Amino acid sequence: MKTLVWVEHDNSNMADATLAAVTAASKLGEVHLLVAGSGCRAVAEQAAAVAGVGKVHLADDAAYAHALAENVAPLVVNLMGHHDAFVCPATTTGKNVAPRVAALLDVMQISDILSVEGEKTFTRPIYAGNAIATVESTDAKLVVTVRGTAFDKAEATGGSAAIEDVASTGDAGKSSFVGAEIAKSERPELTSAKIIVSGGRALKDSETFESVIMPLADKLGAGVGASRAAVDAGYVPNDYQVGQTGKIVAPEVYIAIGISGAIQHLAGMKDSKTIIAINKDEDAPIFQVADIGLVADLYKVVPELTEKL
Amino acid sequence: MKALVPVKRVIDYNVKPRVKADGSGVDLSNVKMSMNPFDEIAVEEAIRLKEAGKVEEIIAVSVGPAKAQETLRTALAMGADSAILIETDAEVEPLAVAKILKAVAAEVEPGIVILGKQAIDDDSNQTGQMLAALMDLPQGTFASKVEIDGDSVNVTREVDGGLETVKLTLPAIVTTDLRLNEPRYASLPNIMKAKKKPLDMKSPADYGVDIAPRLKTTNVSEPPVRQAGVKVADVDELVAKLKAMGVA
C-alpha cells in the first residue's frame, strides 16, 4: 500500500505531529509525504530527512500558504490517484482538511486512530475515550487521522527521500485567510511537552492562574494546560484547553491543579504516564485516575511546591 | 437568507457511557439522551444571526430515529422556525449524513449551514467538512466567531496555535466550537409554541441516498482502566516522590 502523509508545518518548520503520522502510515505500507504551503522548500527538506520516507511531494503555491481546505483538498485528491491511503495528523489542520478529501473521494474517514490492527482495520476512541472501537474500512481507499499521542514519533533524521514538485491546483476562490492570533510562548508546546501543569476553574481568574500555575510550570520547564472550565471562564486562551475537544496530551507527568476531572477533561489526559492531582475536594473524580494525589488548598500548597522543588 | 442547522440526538453529556459486555457497542437503553452540545451552539448561533437580521428563517434537520423528533422540538423551542426529520433506525455515518444534508440543502437553499464540529458519541468531526466538499462550498470549521458581511462571512476558528480568521463566500458551511456562544434555555411558552411548528417526516430513500455503512465496527471495548494511586499527606512527601521520579 502506498500512503500519502500530510505534513503539518508553518511554511518554515515541520511540526512533530507529522512524525507520529509517519509511524502510523509506515504500518500500512510505503510512506510518501505531502508538503503543501508557500515558500516551504525548507519544510520539504526536513520532511525528506525523516527516516523511512520514500518520496516528498512539494506543492508550493500562495494558495496553499494557510492550508485552506478549499484549496488543498483538490491537490490531495489529485495525488490520491496514485496513493491508497491519506494519513493526516489529528491536528486542527488535519481535522479540517481530511474529511473534505474523504468526501471528494467518496470514502468514509476513520478519525483519530489509536492503532493499526490490519491493512484496513484500526482502533479509535469514541464517547470521549470511554470506549474503544475497532473498525474496518470497506472503501477502496483509506482516509485516516492519527492521534499523535498513540504512536511513537518517527526519527526526524536519517532519511534521504527525493523531493518532487507537484503542480498547483490553484486557488478555489471561495475562501481567504484574514489573520491569526497565534500565541508565542517560550514554554514547551502542549502536545510534545514532557511535563504539563494544568489549572482548572478553582484558579478564580486569569491573574491568579498566572501567579499560581506559571511559576510552577517555569520551575519544571513544563507546558501549561487548562480545563475547559478555566478556558470558558477566560483565565487562559483556547489553545490551552486539554480534553475531548481540545488538545489530547500524554506527557510523562501531568499535574492537575484545581481540576475536578470531568469526563471530557480526562479524555484529553488520561494516557499521561504519571498523573498528579492537587485538589481540596477529596471526592473529586480526578483522584480516581491520579497516581499521586494531594488533598489540599492549592493556594497554600502550589507556592510551597514551587519553592521546594 | 435561510440557515440550515443539522442536529443530532446523542447520549447526554453528563452520562458515563457503559460498554456492552458482548463488545457490540455502547448500551443506550434507559440512558438520558439530549441534543449534541455542539449542535445546541449551532442552533443558538443561527438564532442570534436571525435576531441580528442576517438570517430570515431557520430550518433544523436531523437524521435519526423517531425519537429525534424531541431533539428537533428542542431546536424549535429555542427558536428554529421549522424542522425536518429524516427517520432511520440505522446508524448513519458522517459521509451518508452529509449526502442526505446535501439533498436537503438542494431543496431548502440555505445561505449558511451551521453544524456542531463533532458529535460527542462517535467523536468523528467530519460531517460539516464532508458537506462542504459535496456541495463545493467553503468551510469555516471550529468557529468561535461568525460575522456575516454582505455576501461573505468572516469565521474566527479555534486552531492548535490560537485563533485564525478566514473569509468565506456565501453560501458557506460553518462548524461550531465551544466558545462561539452560550445556548439559551427554551422558555415554557416557547416549548408550548414549538409543538405547533411544522416538523416534516422524511426517509433517506426520499432523498435517494444510500446509507449503507462503509465501516464495519467489529468490536467495542472498555479502555484500559487507570488505577487510583496513592495520596500524599503534604508537599514534602509530594516533592520526595517527584524527585524519586527524576522530576526536578
Do B162 and A237 make contact, defined as CB atoms within 8 angstroms? yes
Instruction: Mention every residue, 6+ apart, whose C-beta is less than 8 A from residue B88.
Output: B63, B64, B65, B203, B204, B211
Handedness of CA A254, A259, A265, A270 (dihedral sign): positive
Q: What is the mean pLDDT of residues B168-176?
A: 98
Residue-wise pLDDT for A82-141, tens only, equals: 999 999 999 999 999 999 999 999 999 999 999 999 999 999 999 999 999 999 999 999
- What part of B 98-117 touches A (C-beta under 8 Å)? 98, 117
CB atoms within 10 A of CB B25: 16
Specify the residue for cell string 461573505: B152
Q: Where are the domains of chain A?
A: 2-165, 190-308
Cα B83 to Cα B69: distance, rounded to the nearest angstrom: 9
> What is the CATH T-level fold of the domain A2-165, as seen in this structure?
Rossmann fold (3.40.50)
Q: Does B167 lie at the interface with A, CB-CB under 8 angstroms?
A: yes
Minimal-distance CA residue of chain A relative to B214: A138
Q: Where are the domains of chain B?
A: 2-244
pLDDT at A147: 95
pLDDT at A20: 96
Q: Which residues of A touch B147 (CB under 8 A)?
A: none
C-alpha cell at A25: 502510515
**Higher per-residue pLDDT: B229 or B156:** B156
Q: CATH for B2-244?
A: 3.40.50.620
Give the 3-state DSSP-derived string for chain B, with helices as H, strands as E and coil as C.
Answer: CEEEEECCEEECCCCCCEECCCCCCEECCCCCEEECHHHHHHHHHHHHHHHCCCCCEEEEEEEECCCHHHHHHHHHHHCCCEEEEEECCCCCCHHHHHHHHHHHHHHHCCCEEEEECCCCCCCCCCHHHHHHHHHCCCEEEEEEEEEEECCEEEEEEEECCEEEEEEEECCEEEEECCCCCCCCCCCHHHHHHHCCCCEEEECHHHHCCCCCCCEEEEEEECCCCCCCCEEECCHHHHHHHHHHCCCC
Inter-helix orientation angle B127-135/A92-105, to 10°: 50
Q: What is the mean pLDDT of residues B155-182?
A: 96
The count of C-alpha atoms lying within 13 angstroms of the C-alpha of B44, restricted to the half-sphere facing its C-beta, is 21
Contact (Cβ atoms closer than 8 angstroms) between residue A9 and residue A35: yes
pLDDT at A209: 97
pLDDT at A245: 81
| Residue B248, pLDDT above cutoff 80 | no
Q: First and final CA of chain B: distance in angstroms?
A: 59
| Residue B246, pLDDT above cutoff 90 | no
pLDDT at B211: 97
Residue-wise pLDDT for A129-177, tens only, equals: 999 999 999 999 999 999 999 999 999 999 999 999 999 999 999 999 9
pLDDT at A244: 84
How does the average pLDDT of chain B come out, rounded?
Answer: 96
How does the average pLDDT of chain A come out, rounded?
Answer: 96
Mutation site for A-interface testing, chosen from B24, B129, B147, B211 by largest number of A Cβ within 10 Å: B129
Q: Does B169 lie at the interface with A, CB-CB under 8 angstroms?
A: yes
pLDDT at B226: 84
Q: Which residues of B touch A289 (CB under 8 A)?
A: 226, 228
C-alpha cell at B242: 517527584
Predicted confidence band at A276 (pLDDT cuts at 50, 70, 90)? very high
pLDDT at A302: 96
Looking at the complex, report in whole angstroms how far the Cα of residue B194 sits from the nearest Cα belonging to chain A. 30
Residue-wise pLDDT for A233-272, tens only, equals: 999 999 999 998 889 999 999 999 999 999 889 999 998 9
pLDDT at B225: 84
- ipTM, two decimals, is 0.96
Peptide bond into A74 cis (omega under 30): no
Predicted confidence band at A278 (pLDDT cuts at 50, 70, 90)? very high
**Higher per-residue pLDDT: B243 or B104:** B104
Give the 3-state DSSP-derived string for chain A, with helices as H, strands as E and coil as C.
Answer: CEEEEECCECCCCECCHHHHHHHHHHCCCEEEEEEEECCCHHHHHHHHCCCCCCEEEEEECHHHCCCCHHHHHHHHHHHHHHCCEEEEECCHHHHHHHHHHHHHHCCCCEEEECEECCCCEEEEEEHHHCEEEEEEECCCCEEEEECHHHCCCCCCCCCCCEEEECCCCCCCCCEEEEEEEECCCCCCCHHHCCEEEEECHHHCCHHHHHHHHHHHHHHHCCEEEECHHHHHCCCCCHHHEECCCCECCCCCEEEEECCCCCHHHHHHHCCCCEEEEEECCCCCCHHHHCCEEEECCHHHHHHHHHHHC
| Residue A184, pLDDT above cutoff 90 | no
Phi, psi angle pair for B215, to nearest 5°: -110, 140
Cα A277 to Cα B247: distance, rounded to the nearest angstrom: 15
Could you give the percent of chain A with pLDDT greater than 70? 100
Q: What is the mean pLDDT of residues A34-59?
A: 98
Q: Does B52 lie at the interface with A, CB-CB under 8 angstroms?
A: no
Same fold, A2-165 and A190-308: yes
Cβ-nearest to A138 among B98, B216, B241: B216
- What part of B 60-79 touches A (C-beta under 8 Å)? none
Handedness of CA A249, A255, A258, A262 (dihedral sign): positive
Q: Which residues of A touch B218 (CB under 8 A)?
A: 121, 134-136
Q: What is the mean pLDDT of residues B88-111?
A: 97
Q: Superfamily for A190-308?
A: TPP-binding domain (3.40.50.1220)
pLDDT at A133: 98
Q: Which residues of B touch A96 (CB under 8 A)?
A: 129, 139, 141-142
Do A127 and B26 make contact, defined as CB atoms within 8 angstroms? yes
C-alpha cell at A83: 496513493
Handedness of CA A144, A266, B227, A249 (dihedral sign): positive
| Residue B80, pLDDT above cutoff 80 | yes
Predicted confidence band at A183 (pLDDT cuts at 50, 70, 90)? confident
| Residue B213, pLDDT above cutoff 80 | yes
Minimal-distance CA residue of chain B relative to A288: B228
Looking at the complex, report in whole angstroms how far the Cα of residue A199 sits from the nearest Cα belonging to chain B. 18
